[in-house]
Amino acid sequence: MLAPEGRIIMVSGANRGIGRAVAEALYGAGYTLSLAARDPASLKPVAGKWAEGRVLIERYDAEDQATHRRWVDATASRFGRIDGLVNNAGMVVRVRIEDEKDTELDRMWAVNVKAPLSMIRAALPHLRRSGSGRIVNVVSIAGKAVYNNNAGYAMTKFAAVALSHAARRAGWEDGVRCTALCPGFVATDMTADVETFPHEQMMEPGDIAEVVLTILGLSNNASIAELVINCRDDVTM
């Protein structure tokens, strides 16, 4: 496994839910982190007491492209390298086929697809220089199968799977490996109003964090292109 010490990993939406659990697990394992959120102050409860030399806090608004390159530039200038990018920030709004909710759909495209693309574009030169750069896109099982009536969310997550494969191919020769991580239900704010599946049977954010740790640690010769992880017997997979 790659040693975490000295490796710089960026995590978006690290202030709560899966992103927070990933940040905490990576810090505990010895990585140095560049964390970002729409409101950087919301990262204080996560990383406020961490060693100053091992964390950078920046602003990332998926809908404001200027913040993407600024975050990447700030990370490279502070640490001199970037070894990993975890595109975690994402959103869900219900947009069924019959719904005329183009504004909501456009926002999901911006946050779930275009922003991860823009982050990959900005970080890729640094990840290439690393020689063992890693990209983990926190997608969803909704990117693998259409299992409910939220056509809009599934469309954006299918596109995020495509983006993951495209990024994997783009960076392959320079040692960049990209994974589309596709969880089923995870108990976070995003699933708080789900009534079709018991919350106590959902995965915990820490389960996803453990998987991210493993993906980041694998050598260049062990690339996981897609990983589906679920809390239920999913007949569609």
Binding site for ligand NAP (CB under 6 A): 13, 15-19, 37-39, 42, 60-63, 88-91, 111, 138, 140, 183, 185-186, 188-191
Task: Decide whether 15 or 32 has the Cβ nearer to ligand NAP.
Answer: 15
Nearer to ligand NAP, 3 or 194 (CB): 194
What is the nearest approach in angstroms of ligand NAP to the Cβ of residue 234? 12
Instruction: Report whether 33 contacts 9 (CB < 8 A).
Output: yes
In contact, 224 and 180? CB cutoff 8 Å? no
**Of 27, 31, 60, 153, catalytic:** 153
Question: How far is 16 from 36, CA to CA, in rounded Å?
Answer: 11
- Beta-carbon contacts of residue 114 (< 8 Å; ≥ 6 apart): none
CA 39 to each of CA 135, 151, 235: distance values in angstroms, whole numbers, following the listed order: 23, 29, 39
Taking the CA atoms of 62, 81, 54 and 77 in sequence, report the sign of the dihedral they define: negative
Closer CB to ligand NAP, 111 or 130, in the complex: 111
**Least Å distance between CB 30 and ligand NAP?**
23
**153 noted as active-site residue:** yes
Catalytically active residues, by annotation: 153
